[in-house]
Structure 1
Amino acid sequence: MKAWKVEDWCTPREMTLTDLPVPEPGQGQALVRVHAAALNFFDVLMISGKYQVKPPLPFTPGCEMAGEVVAAGPGSVFRPGDRVCGQPGWGAFGEYVLVENDRTDIVPDGVPMHDAAVMPVVYPTAHVALQRRGNLQPGEWVLVTAGAGGVGIAAIQLAKAWGARVIGLAGGEAKCAVCREQGADLALDYTQDGWVDLIRTHTNGHGIDVIVDPVGGEVYDQALKVLAWEGRAVIIGFAGGTIQKIAANRLLLKNASAVGAVWGGYLARDPQRARAVVADCFDLYAQGKIRPAIMRTYGLHEVPDALEALSRRDSWGKLVIDMKAA
């Protein structure tokens, strides 16, 4: 099979596209012919050795995919012909990948593979950030930093589906327009001064009930200034490069809280809850309340191009690798 290979921690351009043996499924595993794989920012971190998960070298990157089961090992809940999507630890940037029971779900009939490939990571991440950790209630105000990113768009769509009022932050007017197109009631450019005051004005002084932040750094620090009474500031990452430093006095004075939300933790610790979250996301998809925003698809040979676009923040929404593309 054709697959990308990381021999040592490297940049996207230093990976190699090579021929590898098709793996054999073991206990509780199934072999999937990948139809589409989605990219995430942590893919860039993983191949450079900067992610908290460090696969044994050499490895094939890619942590989100959809495809068709072609073989099942002993104890697998899947059978050949099943359409599945999931979050393997790595390996999705190849023509075949091994998946495990608790990290994989059946794709409902009628869901295109490109859309299915986008579902396993960003939508469940936004789901648990808003509902489980953020305790979002209808009518509350939600602030989504990096609102034009994959998780950001998922959070905007889910928050609107659950009856919230949403403000998206993004870098530049083009990405602010994406936030509005995806349902945000207001989109503000965080590179411009004054967005904190604009939030106060737009919410009539109420502030933000739930902050969903994958950015960290100065953006998070400024967002805490508009956290409402008993607000919840949910940390899901630090793509800006600086880990959040919480001004605890802001939490104390607002009777507020700062909490973390790591989707992968549910896969390992509470697979039954994780499966319910994915099922709810597909149910909302079937109702037309959420819809993956795919900016562009690439061929397998273009994975480095896609990863570089992601790392430069040239993209919005999701980037998808189409295994059938020339």
Structure 2
Amino acid sequence: MHAVRLHAFGPAENLTYEHTEDPVPAPGQVRVAVAAAGVHVLDTALRQGMTGPYPAPVELPTIPGREVAGTVESLGEGTDPGWLGKRVVAHLGMVPGGYAELAVTDAARLHEIPAGLDEAEAVAMIGTGRTTLGILQFTRLGPEDIAVVPAAAGGIGTLLVQYAKNAGAAVIGLAGGPVKVARTAANGADLAVDYTLPDWPEQVRAHLRDRLGGRGATVVFDSVGGATGRAAVDLLAEGGLHLVFGWSGEGLLDGSPLTFTEEELAERGITSESVLGPVMIQKAGGDLRVLEERALAEAAAGRLRPAVQRFRLADAARAHGALETRGTMGKVILEP
């Protein structure tokens, strides 16, 4: 098979497209002919030798990637034969191997792809969709809400805008540059503004005053942190909620999440909560698979429509470079 391999930590150019041996499914596993593989910002960190959630850097050489969709074409010993030939999607967990024409995973990780979804959309929902629904566990949106979504043209931001609109909330989407602003508006945001412009907070306040009766925002979905995240929090009304799940405004791999002291929160009359990692898993009852199933169901029903940006598998290095320079919109997908 062909795969993208990493032999030395470093820049995106270290990802090489080459021929390698086909993986063999172990007992209880399947081998998937990959039609779509997800690229996550974590992949760019691991490529550079950072550990992320791992106790140590990944062993080299490695085939990156932890999200795949395709057709089951081979079974390991003892695996349910009913999986053979099915279109499936799986999050591989802590095991890499997704950037390839063939990938193996435990049958217990598989979901059958619902009719009407293509493999790229299924990959987006198994990762980005899962995270989005995990974030949304921490709030209950309704018509009385005003939601501010920074990075609104990204994979998670796209889904948050849709979900909030479906719930009847007013949505303010922040995006970087006119193309992303246009995409955010087309996705349904009531107001889409360019957060690279210095007057964007004034644009939002004018909208709140003129269109929403002068009310402040009720929730900020903060994946950017930094100055943009802080300015977004300044839009919250008393009793508002700040949900933190990233800090890309300080660099995709650098920086730290936006935090407030108890005194600052009390003075502002708001709540701030970090929602990634163990707290999200605990909220889901200890099983992220529940969120995966819900995400696929929402997409199959047409309530959530993931945005994807597709690259050829052989162009994985270019995909990494685009992701790191904020040159992508939606979930980045590799297709053989």
Query: Normalized against structure 1, the TM-score is what?
Result: 0.88
For residues 279 and 99 of structure 2, what CA distance do their matches in structure 1 show?
23
Matched pairs, number: 321
**Matched residue, 1:282:** 296
**Matched residue, 2:8:** 8
Contact 2:243–2:272 (8 Å) recurs in 1:
yes
CA displacement, residues 108-162 of structure 1 (integer Å, 9 cap, x when unaligned): 12321222122111112121212x1233334311111111111111211222222
For residues 9 and 253 of structure 1, what CA distance do their matches in structure 2 show?
45
Contact 1:213–1:236 (8 Å) recurs in 2:
yes
1:67 is the counterpart of 2:83: no
1:224 is the counterpart of 2:194: no
CA displacement, residues 202-248 of structure 1 (integer Å, 9 cap, x when unaligned): 23442222211221211112222112222221111122322123233
For residues 217 and 168 of structure 2, what CA distance do their matches in structure 1 show?
15
Identity of aligned residues (%): 30
SS at match of 2:193: strand
**Matched residue, 2:272:** 258
For residues 78 and 206 of structure 2, what CA distance do their matches in structure 1 show?
57
**Matched residue, 1:117:** 123
For residues 7 and 280 of structure 2, what CA distance do their matches in structure 1 show?
30
More deviation in 256-265 or 167-176? 256-265
Contact 2:72–2:87 (8 Å) recurs in 1:
yes
Residues 104 and 256 of structure 1, relative CA distance in 2, 3 Å threshold: farther
Residues 103 and 213 of structure 1, relative CA distance in 2, 3 Å threshold: farther
Contact 2:245–2:274 (8 Å) recurs in 1:
yes
**Matched residue, 1:308:** 321
Residues 154 and 29 of structure 1, relative CA distance in 2, 3 Å threshold: same
For residues 253 and 164 of structure 1, what CA distance do their matches in structure 2 show?
26
Residues 315 and 200 of structure 1, relative CA distance in 2, 3 Å threshold: same
Question: How much does 1:280 deviate?
Answer: 2.4
1:47-196 alignment to 2 at 5 Å?
47-52=47-52, 53=54, 54-73=57-76, 79-88=83-92, 89=94, 90-101=96-107, 103-130=109-136, 132-196=137-201
For residues 80 and 152 of structure 1, what CA distance do their matches in structure 2 show?
35
For residues 238 and 107 of structure 2, what CA distance do their matches in structure 1 show?
42
Contact 1:61–1:93 (8 Å) recurs in 2:
yes
For residues 97 and 259 of structure 2, what CA distance do their matches in structure 1 show?
36
Residues 263 and 74 of structure 1, relative CA distance in 2, 3 Å threshold: farther
**Matched residue, 1:244:** 257
SS at match of 1:133: coil
More deviation in 238-247 or 300-309? 238-247
**Matched residue, 2:333:** 320
Letter in 2 for 1:17: Y
Letter in 2 for 1:141: I
SS at match of 2:83: coil
Contact 2:128–2:331 (8 Å) recurs in 1:
no
Contact 1:121–1:263 (8 Å) recurs in 2:
no
Letter in 2 for 1:148: A
Question: How much does 1:103 deviate?
Answer: 4.3
More deviation in 183-192 or 81-90? 81-90
Question: How much does 1:197 deviate?
Answer: 3.3
Residues 168 and 18 of structure 1, relative CA distance in 2, 3 Å threshold: same
More deviation in 165-174 or 284-293? 284-293
Where do 5+ consecutive residues of structure 2 fail to align? none
Letter in 2 for 1:185: D
Contact 1:125–1:263 (8 Å) recurs in 2:
no
Question: How much does 1:39 deviate?
Answer: 2.1
Residues 294 and 226 of structure 1, relative CA distance in 2, 3 Å threshold: same
For residues 267 and 39 of structure 2, what CA distance do their matches in structure 1 show?
40
More deviation in 196-205 or 269-278? 269-278
Residues 64 and 139 of structure 1, relative CA distance in 2, 3 Å threshold: farther
Contact 1:133–1:260 (8 Å) recurs in 2:
no
Residues 22 and 168 of structure 1, relative CA distance in 2, 3 Å threshold: same
Letter in 2 for 1:92: G
Contact 1:145–1:152 (8 Å) recurs in 2:
yes
Letter in 2 for 1:257: T
SS at match of 1:9: coil
Query: Normalized against structure 2, the TM-score is what?
Result: 0.86
